[in-house]
Amino acid sequence: MLEEKNNNIKIDEPQNSKKIENKLNKQKKKRNIIVLIAGIIAIIVAYILFRGSYLETLEIGENYIDIFWQNIKYTSITLVVNFFIIYSMIYFTTNKIKNTLKEFFKVENKPMPKLPNKSIAFILGIVISSVTSKFILGKLLLCFNSTLFGIQDPVFGYDIGYFIFQKPFIELVIMYLLIAVVALIVYSAIYYIITFNFCFEGIDRQTLKKSPILKQLIKYIRILAILIAGVV
């Protein structure tokens, strides 16, 4: 009887592993499809905006086409750089989250599923960079095309041009980082909550206290405090 049970267990193990593998492959395919759809939508929207701007420029006059292409170049560079910054922040944050979650799966004696990372980073990177890049570019061009007025501020001794051209960009960078930290805290919290709800029945408080989650939260709060101090 024992031999039969052992044989049944041995037969069931590869079947279970195949089921898990098939499930993971299906999830991977779904994520790839979602990423592909998001990429196609982004390309279509970008083309529509590009075509609209090009036709508007033609209506104004062909003399402005060179300026149009120059704006496209600057916008593209800003968009790509902004995308990679956002993608990297989300990607590395998710990696930290996944490394932290490994301990919870070990405690519960559960195999850790392949949690999404690149797909989320890619989609959020496209969406956020598309929304923010134009605003960033405006401040960036204002900063790099700054000029001196030859009039100094009586309090700080800086040229007036600093407050008009450079200071807004510095404030933008600080606000960018500030919003990024807040967004990553919210993102991390949502990621943890969703994972805990789907993969665990409940989390022990002691396990939660011993985990690096609180340390990560304190680290984010410190960075947030420094950035807020910079804004103030």
- Which tens digit of pLDDT belongs to each residue from 30-86? 777 888 888 888 888 888 877 888 888 888 877 878 878 888 888 889 999 999 999
Residue type, 125: G
Instruction: Specify the pLDDT at position 223.
Output: 78
84-98: string of b/e by CB count within 10 Å (b at 16+)?
eebbebbbebbeebb
Distances (CA, A) of 168 to 39, 125, 138, 140, 231: 32, 24, 10, 9, 11
Residue 40 in any domain: the answer is no
User: 212 lies in which domain range?
Assistant: 69-231
- Residue 77 and residue 87 in contact, taking contact as beta carbons nearer than 8 Å: no
Q: Give pLDDT < 50 ranges for the chain.
A: 1-13, 16
Tokens of 55: 């036709």
Whether pTM > 0.85 for this model: the answer is: no
- Residue 177 and residue 227 in contact, taking contact as beta carbons nearer than 8 Å: yes
Could you give the CA distance from residue 140 to residue 128 in angstroms, rounded to a whole number?
Answer: 17
Q: How many CB atoms lie within 10 A of CB 184?
A: 20
Residue 125 in any domain: the answer is yes
Angle at 50 between CA 45 and CA 53, to 5 degrees: 125
**What's the number of domains the chain is made of?**
1
- Residue 165 and residue 197 in contact, taking contact as beta carbons nearer than 8 Å: no
Instruction: Specify the pLDDT at position 3.
Output: 47
Tokens of 41: 């939508």
Backbone φ/ψ region at 112: left (φ over 0), alpha (ψ -120 to 50), beta: beta
Instruction: Specify the pLDDT at position 13.
Output: 45
- Residue 64 and residue 71 in contact, taking contact as beta carbons nearer than 8 Å: no
Q: How many CB atoms lie within 10 A of CB 192?
A: 19
Residue 35 in any domain: the answer is no
Residue 47 in any domain: the answer is no
- Residue 164 and residue 143 in contact, taking contact as beta carbons nearer than 8 Å: no
Residue 21 in any domain: the answer is no
Tokens of 42: 């982004």
- Residue 153 and residue 210 in contact, taking contact as beta carbons nearer than 8 Å: no
Residues in the chain: 232
Instruction: Specify the pLDDT at position 11.
Output: 45
Instruction: Specify the pLDDT at position 135.
Output: 86
Instruction: Specify the pLDDT at position 170.
Output: 86
